[in-house]
Amino acid sequence: MVKKAWAKEIMDSIVERIEETISDTVRGLKVNVVDIEVGKYGGKTYLRITLDRPGGITVDDCAVASELIGQVIDRENLISGSYVLEIMSPGVNRPLKKARDFEMSVGKIARVRIIEPRDGRDVFRGEVTSFDGNVLSMVVDGERMEFVLEEIASARLDPDLPW
7 versus 85: the higher-pLDDT residue is: 85
Q: Which whole number is the average pLDDT over 4-29? A: 81
Residue 162 covered by a domain: no
Q: How confident is the model at residue 50 (pLDDT cuts 50, 70, 90)?
A: very high
Average pLDDT, the chain: 89
We report the CATH number of the domain holding residue 55 as: 3.30.300.70
Does residue 108 carry a pLDDT above 60?
yes
Residues constituting the chain: 163
Domain co-membership, 73 together with 8: yes
pLDDT at position 10 over 80: no
pTM value surpassing 0.75:
no
Mark whether 73 and 123 lie in a shared domain. no
Instruction: Count other C-beta atoms under 10 Å from residue 90's C-beta.
Output: 19
Report the pLDDT value the prediction gives residue 55, as an integer from 0 to 100. 82
- Residues 79, 17, single domain; the answer is yes
Calculate what percentage of the chain has a pLDDT beyond 70. 94
Torsion angles phi and psi, residue 32, rounded to 5: -115, 140
Let me know whether 52 and 126 are in one domain: no
Asked whether residue 57 falls in the same domain as residue 103, the answer is: no
Mean pLDDT of 73-95: 89
CA angle 53, 50, 27 (to 5 degrees): 50
Structural domain containing residue 142: 99-157
pLDDT of 74 reads: 92
Domain count, the chain: 2
Tell me, yes or no, whether 74 and 129 share the same domain: no
Same domain flag for 61 and 22: yes
Domain boundary among 68, 88, 108: 88
Beta carbons within 10 angstroms of residue 153's beta carbon: 11
Do both 60 and 24 map to the same domain?
A: yes
Phi, psi angle pair for 84, to nearest 5°: -110, 125
Domain boundary (57, 88, 119) is at 88
**C-beta atoms surrounding 36 within 10 Å:** 19
- Return the closest-CA partner of residue 88 out of 67, 68, 65: 65
pLDDT, position 2: 47
Span 11-22, mean pLDDT?
A: 86
Q: What is the CATH number of the domain that holds 122?
A: 2.30.30.180
Residue 152 has pLDDT above 90, yes or no: yes
